Amino acid sequence: MSTIRVGAGLDVHPFTATDGDASAAPLVLCGVHVPDAPGLDGHSDADVGAHAVADALLGAAALGDLGSRFGVDRPETAGADSMELLRAVVTDVAAAGFEVGNVDLTIVAQRPRLAPHREAMRANLAAALHLDVVAVSVKFTTTDRLGTIGRGEGIAGWCSALLVGVRR
């Protein structure tokens, strides 16, 4: 029987600016640029979707967390493309003897409307994880205007991931 591991990841970032600020960084979620929305503040591109998935994979493989792997104290990761960081995590997970079975990502945002971008997000994640898109779930919800996310101050991502041991 193959070894099976489950991991969970969480990431939260605040918006950098208000809607309509042309100088704001773009909003990037799972490698998809979401138009007409302010970007998120972070050391990298602050892609909460990619970060949550990466942390879930690292946790399942017992390889630490995204902060210890690509910390904010490392100048070389400033402004990094989070999908590239996710691909590096997939390489680390494979080196540890695992392949990704599936991921289930929930993005929590009061704004902007994200449903039109779901399939592009799934496709980007599937490519980075070496999975068929049917093994990648991306869901969206709000907090019904409760708390920081509900006030539209930022976005959060939660992910569960399944790893399967590879026989060598």
What's the whole-model pTM score? 0.94
Residue 77 confidence class, pLDDT cut points 50, 70, 90: confident
Position of tokens 């590096």? 88
pLDDT above 90 coverage of the chain, percent: 80
pLDDT value, residue 20: 54
What domains, with CATH codes, occur in the chain?
4-165 (3.30.1330.50)
89-147 pLDDT tens trace: 999 999 999 999 999 999 999 999 999 999 999 999 999 999 999 999 999 999 999 99
CA distances from 76 to 72, 85, 130 (A): 9, 12, 26
DSSP one-letter code for 15: B
Residue 31 confidence class, pLDDT cut points 50, 70, 90: very high
